[in-house]
Amino acid sequence: MSERNNFIDYIRIFAKSGHGGAGITHFMRNKLTAMGGPDGGDGGRGGHIILRGNSNLWTLLHLRYYKNVLAENGENGSKSNCTGRDGKDIYIDVPLGTIARDEESGLKEVEILENGQEVIWLKGGRGGLGNSNFATPTNQVPEHSQPGEEGIEGYKNLELKVLADVGLVGFPNAGKSTLLSVITAAKPKIANYAFTTLTPQLGMVEYRDQQSFCIADLPGIIEGAAEGKGLGHRFLRHIERNSVLLFLIPADSDDHKKEFEILRNELEEYNPEMLQKDFIIAISKSDMLDDELKEAISKELPEGIPHLFLSSLTNKGLTELKDLLWTTLNKPVA
């Protein structure tokens, strides 16, 4: 399966929780009791639809053909005050970072962030009460019982926002995939043309003392991504969760500062809160630069944002990059 088809970060499904079983109207009748009291049992609860976080998943691919999710109805009550069986709950395992929305309203209903986290997404309808619940001193033979409540139904959307500590941001062919391949165990597709990376690639960076952090190579953006050009919103959605954004700008760029500003503006137009994240600028492919050129590029770059020079080809600057990322990720909260 190609990379394009392997990573699914958006699914539309029709979901319906179970209808509650009906309570029944019944009176005790047996050999010894000709005119007994009410003994109609309650209906069972309809099945819930439950979302469950699973850290072993990284895509919604397994739900691709899961178009209709219908939970079981609760059983009706029966005589002798027997309550009907509850409908069977449906569990949907999703990767961490999954958000569930109602399609019609667009409202966020559930967010899954932890492994093993279980949230009832659509509650099953309550079972109706049998007539035995309605007996009173003045009405000892109640003739009514309740129907079960209906389940909840509707078209729903599941969307995935990648959970990573560091997001790699840059234009196509900035060297992000190559960097990821040399500082993590990830094996992204690498080629010398734009839009090699069509989907987010995650990798764990091994740090000192057996510590690690997660970095994501995200699809390259172009001017106008916030309006939906290029890969647009699909890409920008994944950046929202990264606490540090690493801007990768190639050494052979015509204008390093302008390239950074374009990338920064795209993020701001999509969501101004992006600018609250920590920024780091890395000049890639810098094995072609001498000290004089590095100094000239440093003067171009915006003040107040840490920057460094690195080369994935020669591994130069990679240790310094890991140190800077780790320090930034673990700095005390002001």
* CA proximity to 28, closest of 41, 15, 16: 41
What whole-number distance in Å separates Cα of residue 318 and Cα of residue 101?
Answer: 40
What whole-number distance in Å separates Cα of residue 81 and Cα of residue 26?
Answer: 9
Per CATH, the architecture of 166-329 is what?
3-Layer(aba) Sandwich (3.40)
What's the mean per-residue pLDDT of the chain? Answer: 82
Residues 310-324 have pLDDT tens digits of 988 888 888 899 999
* DSSP codes of every residue in 183-227: HSS------SSTT---S-EEEEEE-GGG-EEEEEEPPP--TTGGG
Cβ-Cβ contacts under 8 Å for 325 (sequence gap 6 or more)? 165, 166, 205, 213, 215, 244, 246, 280
Secondary structure of residue 51 in the 3-state scheme: strand
Q: Which segments of the chain belong to CATH 2.70.210.12?
A: 1-160
* Poorest-pLDDT segment among 226-230, 276-280, 285-289: 226-230
Identify whether the C-beta of residue 78 lies closer than 8 Å to the C-beta of residue 22: no
Contacts 24+ apart (CB under 8 A), 78-83: 78/24, 78/26, 78/41, 79/24, 79/26, 79/28, 79/39, 79/40, 79/41, 80/28, 80/39, 80/41, 81/39, 81/40, 81/41, 81/130, 81/132, 82/41, 83/41, 83/42, 83/43, 83/44, 83/127
Q: Cα separations (Å) of 155 from 48, 77, 90, 102, 180?
A: 16, 30, 16, 7, 37
* Poorest-pLDDT segment among 3-17, 201-215, 223-237: 223-237
Identify whether the C-beta of residue 21 lies closer than 8 Å to the C-beta of residue 128: yes
- The yes or no reply on domain 1-160 and CATH 2.70.210.12 is yes
Place of tokens 């109207």: 25
> What pLDDT shows up at residue 125?
96
At 174, which amino acid appears? A
The first and second tokens of residue 23, run together, are: 């309570």
Give yes or no for residue 210 having a pLDDT over 80.
no
Cβ-Cβ contacts under 8 Å for 292 (sequence gap 6 or more)? none
Give yes or no for residue 325 having a pLDDT over 70.
yes
* Poorest-pLDDT segment among 6-10, 112-116, 136-140, 247-251: 6-10
Q: Which segments of the chain belong to CATH 3.40.50.300?
A: 166-329
DSSP assignment, residue 257?
Answer: H
> What pLDDT shows up at residue 192?
37
Residues 75-97 have pLDDT tens digits of 999 988 899 999 999 999 998 88
- Exposure string of 218-227, with b = 16+ CB inside 10 Å and e = fewer, is bbbbbeebbe
* CA proximity to 154, closest of 27, 232, 97, 69: 69
Percentage of the chain modeled with pLDDT above 70: 84
**Best mean pLDDT range from 15-19, 51-55, 210-214, 291-295:** 15-19
Cβ-Cβ contacts under 8 Å for 158 (sequence gap 6 or more)? 10, 11, 13, 60, 63, 94, 98, 99, 100, 101
Secondary structure of residue 65 in the 3-state scheme: coil
Phi, psi of 330 (to 5 degrees): -110, 15
Give yes or no for residue 234 having a pLDDT over 50.
yes
Strand pairing partners for 202?
216
What whole-number distance in Å separates Cα of residue 297 and Cα of residue 205?
Answer: 28
**What integer is the mean pLDDT of 289-295?**
87
